[in-house]
Amino acid sequence: MSKSYIRHFNANAIFHRIRIEPNVSQRDIVAKTGIDKSVVSSIVNQFSELGLVERNPVATSNKPGRPMEGLTISPESGLIVGVQIEADTIGYVAAALDGIPVCSKVQAFDGKLDEVADVVARGVKEIVSECGRDSETLGVGISLPGLLTDEGVLLHAPVLGWRGVPVVDMFSSALDAPVFAGNDGKAAAMAEYMFGECVDVRDFIYLFSGSGVGGALFLDGDIYRGSTGLAGELGHIKVVPQGRYCSCGASGCLSAYLCEPALAEEIGRLTGNLPSSFKEIIERANANDEVVVGVLDNAGAVLGSAISSLVNIFNPPLVCLGGDMASAEPYLRPAVERALQRLAHPSMSVQTKVIFSQLSTVSPFLGGVALALDGVTGLDSPHVLP
Amino acid sequence: MSKSYIRHFNANAIFHRIRIEPNVSQRDIVAKTGIDKSVVSSIVNQFSELGLVERNPVATSNKPGRPMEGLTISPESGLIVGVQIEADTIGYVAAALDGIPVCSKVQAFDGKLDEVADVVARGVKEIVSECGRDSETLGVGISLPGLLTDEGVLLHAPVLGWRGVPVVDMFSSALDAPVFAGNDGKAAAMAEYMFGECVDVRDFIYLFSGSGVGGALFLDGDIYRGSTGLAGELGHIKVVPQGRYCSCGASGCLSAYLCEPALAEEIGRLTGNLPSSFKEIIERANANDEVVVGVLDNAGAVLGSAISSLVNIFNPPLVCLGGDMASAEPYLRPAVERALQRLAHPSMSVQTKVIFSQLSTVSPFLGGVALALDGVTGLDSPHVLP
DNA sequence: GATATTTTTCTTGTTTTGAGAATAATTCAT
DNA sequence: ATGAATTATTCTCAAAACAAGAAAAATATC
């Protein structure tokens, strides 16, 4: 526990407050974070000198006394680029320091490891120039479908077939800006904390559904990584003893009932008409296809059972469901609520809100932005989110 | 995040190292904690001046150079008293600062709230005088079967029928020593971390079985309390959808299959012979009563299912099972292992060790000692473990 | 006995917090 | 208008804590 750690921590907390509540006063920051006024003044000055934070005069409040200074993140001060590497695509988004996306794009990707650093370097350069700003790139955050060590080594990414890749070093040498890397599920959770539905919630459970089901435990204001970094792989909670086989090799995983391929397969099996995308699944449900609605309802029940377990373990104020789940809310929510009623401890579930977040569909790839922002605003050196 | 917090944190870490590894050198502490040598020297001096730590010459190592000083907790420096309040008993244990119990006793208790402060004050005085040492009582830790707030208020203790009791204030005014209070399950987990099977393990899951099933999440070197303090009530993880009714009002809880009353009832129902204690259950199992063995095996399967979920969520290096479970290890372990094999993610379960801890049966009431020790050795003011 | 080695302490410097005084900028009352 | 009151921020200074290196202490080896 070092001294600079406190500074890092405080700086992050202050930046976070300014971002989620533009035009706050220093006084408010003091009240809400408990950090001393001198420290807030000093750190705000530091941010202000770096050009990261602006002081704006605020409309008169009709109160006596010196008016407050409204503090905001300067949108022109620099760009953060979020990169999301998936099985066959790479997504990019450039955002200002306040996290508001400026532009984004997706590019096809063949998964070749030896070219990816150059591909991403070019992609980042392009997205930055497309923004039409000559502001500096302050950080690049790379969200990866696999597990990372503290040192920035990607241990294993099944969908990419990569293993033991020192991603931070690799991308750092190809890019000019500081590189931050992290697991996709955890990065997405961080994005929810910074920009989404979980802003400023100290404890929440995040579940994400797509080609697989991932997740993260956000505890005490930070992602819980566990001793091995594997913690939070919530897609593999067992929900049905001796249930369906999952791509991970085990059986009865939540993922085997909820991820897009599993739902598609089930619908295909029951109707003889295999959906080609999650969008199609939702379209068929919207068109009142009873089989599809039934499959989604069943998935909701299984999901609700998993959430009930999580509620009983963590008693979190918030459970956030992202990815494909957001667009399926009308078909999932009733079953989830039923399961919670039936399975979760009443005195716990009353304190828990379950929400479906649109963030990852409305503005995708923000996970990487969150990763980088977390590092950049600490007034400190890079790190990794395993 | 304040400055004195760092000192508290470092002091605790250093004391912890000395306790778990008597005769360490400062150099070793530096190597193992990462704290700077100056800081270690300064804090060791502080402990030494307070008489909490002794410096012993260590047998020559046949190496050149100044020989190390072996640091140990001075056993005579003071007493810590652990108090455990249960439905009809109060248990006491007096221990030296190294956590080694000196003497203990149990007294009957009628659950009367208005007398308990005086009763405990008398009990503490007696146990201290029974020790036959005139050393100072440095702290009293009180372990309670209920939920506490950060401010030391017992919100609700169902088995005692207490609600909204400011326990820390109440016991503080009756006792001369600093009072620390906490939830029994979390205190027991802390004891495992300090004195038991989980010494120095930064992340573990603790499950405790007795008249109910409690537990704690020990994450990143500390108990996770969650936003409400309810986190870690692992006895109410749902293991069987629409399963047995639990004393909490819900159905399918782990507790409903594993706690002593549930096991006794089940055995009584099947044999017509209701066991009067957990000890009797084990005796009948030892006498090869097939029904009893079968009931325990079934409980083990349910327990294993719950542990599998926990493994998949946390991927902890260690799952520690305490209380009654320890003496039932021969009957529970096979079923637990089977369930883990079948239900837990293989790449996770290989990293997880499941152990049965005798700590709470061999030297009971250490939870309170752990609570108090945690506060006393921080060179800082009291606090609570909700 | 000199030298090398290992462990601990001392010295000095830097960073950061934290409390209170000072300053700045406004409204309200007269 | 002008002074008083009020509120927000900055400045000043002291204390706490860490951090790096020099120094000291205590031993083994040659």
Please report residues of A whose CB lies closer than 8 A to that of B241. Answer: 305, 342-343
Q: Name which of B198, B313, B319 to mutate to probe chain A: the one with the most chain A Cβ atoms within 10 A of its Cβ.
A: B313
For residue B383, what pLDDT is reported?
Answer: 37
User: Beta carbon of A1 within 7 Å of strand C?
Assistant: no
Q: How confident is the model at residue A3 (pLDDT cuts 50, 70, 90)?
A: low
Nucleotide nearest to A42 (CA to C1'): D10
Q: Is the distance from CB of B372 to CB of B140 less than 8 angstroms?
A: yes
User: Beta carbon of B4 within 7 Å of strand C?
Assistant: yes
The winner for highest mean pLDDT among A237-246, A315-324, B129-138 is A315-324
User: Beta carbon of B27 within 7 Å of strand C?
Assistant: yes
Q: What is the pLDDT of residues A145-190, one digit of tens each?
A: 888 887 788 988 888 889 899 999 999 999 988 899 999 999 999 9
A25 versus A63: which is more confidently predicted?
A25
Q: For a pLDDT cut of 90, what percent of chain A falls above it?
A: 47
Q: CA of B62 vs C1' of D29, distance in Å?
A: 11
| C15: residue with closest CA to C1' | A3
Strand partners, A318: A204, A353
Q: How confident is the model at residue B60 (pLDDT cuts 50, 70, 90)?
A: low
Distance CA A214, CA B202 (A): 24
Residue B183 clears pLDDT 60, i.e. is over it: yes
For residue A385, what pLDDT is reported?
Answer: 35
Residue A106 clears pLDDT 70, i.e. is over it: yes
Contacts across the A-B interface (CB distance below 8 Å): 133
Q: CA of A36 vs C1' of C9, distance in Å?
A: 34
- Which of the residue ranges A76-85, A203-212, A234-243, B281-290 would you say has the lowest mean pLDDT? A234-243
Segment A344-357 shows an average pLDDT of 87
For residue B1, what pLDDT is reported?
Answer: 58
For residue A355, what pLDDT is reported?
Answer: 96
How confident is the prediction for chain A on average, in pLDDT? 87
How confident is the prediction for chain B on average, in pLDDT? 87
Interchain contact, B6 vs A9, CB within 8 Å: no
Residue B210 DSSP class = S
Q: Is the distance from CB of A18 to CB of A53 less than 8 angstroms?
A: yes
Q: CA of A342 vs C1' of D25, distance in Å?
A: 70
Tell me how close the Cα of A118 comes to any Cα of chain B, in angstroms.
Answer: 33
Q: What is the pLDDT of residues B85-106, one digit of tens each?
A: 998 899 999 998 888 899 999 9
Model pTM greater than 0.85?
A: yes
- Which of the residue ranges B35-44, B134-143, B375-384 would you say has the lowest mean pLDDT? B375-384
Segment A318-346 shows an average pLDDT of 92
Q: How confident is the model at residue B4 (pLDDT cuts 50, 70, 90)?
A: low
Q: How confident is the model at residue B111 (pLDDT cuts 50, 70, 90)?
A: confident
